[in-house]
């Protein structure tokens, strides 16, 4: 369901008016640009560890939305391939890094001094991968907790166990309950809480606990890092898509205001004053985040072995790639019945002095909100088509 466009609120006024008082409109423009790009300078370091052969590399590839066969992927092999910490950066957000750590308990890295040698304090939290919770995992978890860090136990290769239980005549739900209880009992036997347990399959990231793992990791990060991590998440579940859309809608007022203030010029055929390049850049960001750009659709088609044309057939919105597309969309919004947000004129003096810019801000904001509602529906359709 389409959401209403939020009016200028006290938080926005409190943020921008002091900037305007000290630095004028130019200061407001610089402030908005900085806010919209702040995630680019935020570092997130996540350690992926556990015993050798448990699927750490495959998990990293799934988290980064790359295929195991891609050149940039973490190498997957049956032998121990990781002999030192290796950083794998997100291709679009390189400040978000997953570290593939050597397998704990090997001859190269005995459990006794594992974390000291690797530098525990550099990581935001740890993902301990395993097929069962071992003594080495328990020792590692205790050291992590003593250091004041958090860990989550990721039970890998759940799909393999599900197939085994099916051959025994058990239902998938029953098999999952058995696996969950077995892991939880072993965790609690060594004094660990089972709430940090996730059952996943790197081959089927849309199933089991993958989406819940994503959401938990985001929530456990400090607030300043949540945004950067959120933007790296793959759209593997409708819940992830909804979280992203909520975040993107919180960006709208800044992006709209920046486009209306940043070297704004009147657009033809519609009474809107804005910077079309800024607006086009923001719209392109929406497509990427909701997995509707060509690269994202190609990955999804390869991951789930679906024809690319069938996924593109689920796109019902018109892809906005030119200034004419933007003009047409805004002309449609401007022609709708609306109530001018007079609070804009009274609360934000740099808009109140130019009423046409204030009206443009309202039209652009409304257009971006409506577009996001449409893209959310498309993204969910594409996902359902891919995994069906």
* Residue 241 covered by a domain: yes
- Same structural domain for residues 165 and 284? no
pLDDT at 111: 57
- Same structural domain for residues 157 and 33? no
- Same structural domain for residues 279 and 303? yes
* Residue 150 covered by a domain: yes
Dihedral sign for Cα atoms in the order 189, 190, 193, 194: negative
Enter the DSSP assignment of 262. Answer: S
Give the tens place of pLDDT for each residue, 194-247: 678 999 999 899 999 999 999 999 888 888 899 889 988 889 999 999 999 999
The token pair that represents 95 in the structure block = 């400040």
| Local structure of 199: helix, strand or coil | strand
- Same structural domain for residues 92 and 209? yes
- Same structural domain for residues 53 and 82? yes
* Residue 5 covered by a domain: no
- Same structural domain for residues 277 and 183? no
Alpha-carbon 249 to chain mean position: 14
- Same structural domain for residues 226 and 169? yes
User: How far is CA 328 from each of CA 41, 195, 237, 272, rounded to the nearest angstrom?
Assistant: 35, 50, 32, 11
Higher pLDDT, 343 or 264: 264
End position of a domain, from candidates 205, 230, 255: 230
- Same structural domain for residues 274 and 185? no
Least confident residue range of 42-46, 165-169, 322-326: 322-326
Measured between alpha carbons, how far is 338 from 185 in angstroms, rounded to an integer?
59
Return the CA Rg of the chain. 24
pLDDT at 348: 64
Task: State the chain's maximal CA–CA distance in angstroms.
Answer: 74
pLDDT at 252: 92
Name the H helices within 194-307: 210-220, 223-230, 238-261, 276-289, 294-303
End position of a domain, from candidates 230, 263, 294: 230
Q: Which domain holds residue 100?
A: 42-230
Task: Tell me the mean pLDDT in the region 369-373.
Answer: 93
| Local structure of 318: helix, strand or coil | coil
- Same structural domain for residues 58 and 161? yes
Give the tens place of pLDDT for each residue, 272-300: 777 888 888 999 999 999 999 999 999 99
- Same structural domain for residues 124 and 181? yes
Q: What is the CATH number of the domain that holds 217?
A: 3.40.50.300
* Residue 313 covered by a domain: yes
* Residue 3 covered by a domain: no
User: How far is CA 319 from each of CA 195, 323, 358, 366, rounded to the nearest angstrom?
Assistant: 42, 12, 27, 17
Measured between alpha carbons, how far is 35 from 40 in angstroms, rounded to an integer?
10
* Residue 243 covered by a domain: yes
The share of the chain scoring above pLDDT 90, in percent, equals: 31
Of the pLDDT bands very low, low, confident and very high (cuts 50, 70, 90), residue 306 is very high
The total number of structural domains that make up the chain: 2
Of the pLDDT bands very low, low, confident and very high (cuts 50, 70, 90), residue 378 is very high
The token pair that represents 300 in the structure block = 């999804």
pTM of the model: 0.85
- Same structural domain for residues 250 and 374? yes
- Same structural domain for residues 47 and 190? yes
End position of a domain, from candidates 230, 258, 283: 230
Higher pLDDT, 329 or 306: 306
* Residue 166 covered by a domain: yes
Highest mean pLDDT: which range of 61-75, 186-200, 279-293, 312-326: 279-293
The token pair that represents 329 in the structure block = 């969309």
Task: Tell me the mean pLDDT in the region 45-60.
Answer: 87
* Residue 2 covered by a domain: no
E strands in 44-106: 44-50, 86-89, 96-100
Of the pLDDT bands very low, low, confident and very high (cuts 50, 70, 90), residue 341 is very low
pLDDT at 140: 81
């Amino acid at each position: 369901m389409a959401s209403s466009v939020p009016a200028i609120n006290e938080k926005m006024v409190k943020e921008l008016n002091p900037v305007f008082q000290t630095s004028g409109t130019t200061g407001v423009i610089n402030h908005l640009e900085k806010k919209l790009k702040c995630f680019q300078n935020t570092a997130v370091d996540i350690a992926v560890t556990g015993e050798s052969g448990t699927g750490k590399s495959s998990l990293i590839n799934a988290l980064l939305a790359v295929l195991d066969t891609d050149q940039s992927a973490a190498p997957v092999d049956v032998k121990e391939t990781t002999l030192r910490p290796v950083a794998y950066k997100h291709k679009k957000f390189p400040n978000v890094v997953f570290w593939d750590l050597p397998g704990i308990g090997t001859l190269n890295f005995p459990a006794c001094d594992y974390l000291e040698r690797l530098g525990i304090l550099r990581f935001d939290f740890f993902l301990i991968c395993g097929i069962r919770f071992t003594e080495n995992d328990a020792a590692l978890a205790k050291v992590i907790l003593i250091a004041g860090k958090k860990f989550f136990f990721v039970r890998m290769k759940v799909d393999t166990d599900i197939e085994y239980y099916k051959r025994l005549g058990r239902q998938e739900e029953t098999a999952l309950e058995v696996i969950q209880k077995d892991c939880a009992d072993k965790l609690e036997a060594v004094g660990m809480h089972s709430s940090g347990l996730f059952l996943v399959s790197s081959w089927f990231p849309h199933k089991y606990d993958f989406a819940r793992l994503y959401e938990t990791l985001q929530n456990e990060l400090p607030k300043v890092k949540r945004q950067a991590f959120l933007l790296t998440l793959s759209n593997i579940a409708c819940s992830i898509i909804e979280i992203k859309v909520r975040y993107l809608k919180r960006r709208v007022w800044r992006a709209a205001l920046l486009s209306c203030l940043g070297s704004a010029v009147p657009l033809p055929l519609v009474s809107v004053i804005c910077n079309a390049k800024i607006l086009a850049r923001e719209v392109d960001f929406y497509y990427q985040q909701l997995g509707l750009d060509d690269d994202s659709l190609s990955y999804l088609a390869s991951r789930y072995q679906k024809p690319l044309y069938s996924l593109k057939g689920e796109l019902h919105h018109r892809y906005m790639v030119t200034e004419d597309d933007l003009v047409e969309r805004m002309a449609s919004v401007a022609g709708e019945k609306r109530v001018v947000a007079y609070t804009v004129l009274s609360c934000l003096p740099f808009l109140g002095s130019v009423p046409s810019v204030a009206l443009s801000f309202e039209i652009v904001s409304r257009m971006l909100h409506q577009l996001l509602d449409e893209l959310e529906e498309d993204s969910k359709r594409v996902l359902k088509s891919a995994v069906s």
